[in-house]
Structure 1
Amino acid sequence: MTSTTQPPFYILVSHSNLSNNTAALGVGTSTSLGHPIIQYYYEDDSPLSLLPKTPDEHVLILDYDASRTGTAPIIKSISSNLAITGVKFSEAPGAAAAHDELNIKRNDNMYILETCTTTEDKANMDASQSDLQNAQVALNRFKQRNSILRRALDYPNISKGDLTQTQPAGGSPPVAESPKS
């Protein structure tokens, strides 16, 4: 496997839609994978260039620091209707062999950014005010929002195979500790 100090090369976005029915029943969500358009920005670049150009454009920021090996990159959404709920990484199938054959040094990990939309909540806000008397509607909305919150609060958990690491609540990446004798 090549060095992982290189920035991520294989990135997918996993978008989940939580409908009122599936969240209320505790059933799974509808998920789709997509390839994002990747643009590299550096510390000395203007932050204004990161802002979405249209209302339908979603901007996710993956803060990758090569000096923090063994920890997950920090990912944030600056889109008002898209939230990050997690990040997973694993080896990209066949990437190491292709890179070794071509003598290319790339990060062989595949990063999957998990997202969910918050637009449905905003669109239903006006209608929800009139539905407050209906207990079932209120309960379904509560369960849906709780499901999204649970996923977002579990976001710092990263999985690589069976290994799970957790970032502390303060948002700083975990630090590997040496075993104590």
Structure 2
Amino acid sequence: MTKMMMALAGLLGLAGCASVDPLEYAAETPQLELPRYFNGTLDAHGMFQDRSGKVVKRFHVEIAASWKGETGTLDERFTYSDGSTQRRVWTLTRVDAHHYTGRADDVVGEARGEARGNALRWTYVLALPVDGKVYNVDFDDWMFLMDDRTMLNRSVMSKFGVRLGEVTLSFRKRD
């Protein structure tokens, strides 16, 4: 009986790790359409928190976004609170009404996204430089459109299933 209880507890624990399905947000408004929202200049303010919750880095991102047909470009320019800078250029491709792929120089392979209602879920692996070494880190990235100009973003970073920290961002479209 003890083995059965342990097996059941293990299965329940695994079920607790299951992720939310983007379909849960299908009826939420306003509807997020990447080509419409990521078009023009956007500002984002964010922070990275380690697994204890300590804010390790704060940053601002200026994003020049444009679309040509089914392909979008997000040219992101980061300025960190310590004065360092970084640039990442995403190339996004609309696969169908709800699915996107993305590539950037520091993304390992291809990012995959699903948009439903006001939400977008991105999953990808980022080659993250830390103290002279590069680590491939998994990102589970959720974006939620709040109104026509504001989007909130929360990313959970993990390695081998172990949570490393979170990135929180607030995007704002310029007029």
TM-score by length of 1: 0.31
Structure showing greater Rg = 1
TM-score by length of 2: 0.32
The answer to which structure has the higher helix fraction is 1
The answer to which structure has the higher strand fraction is 2
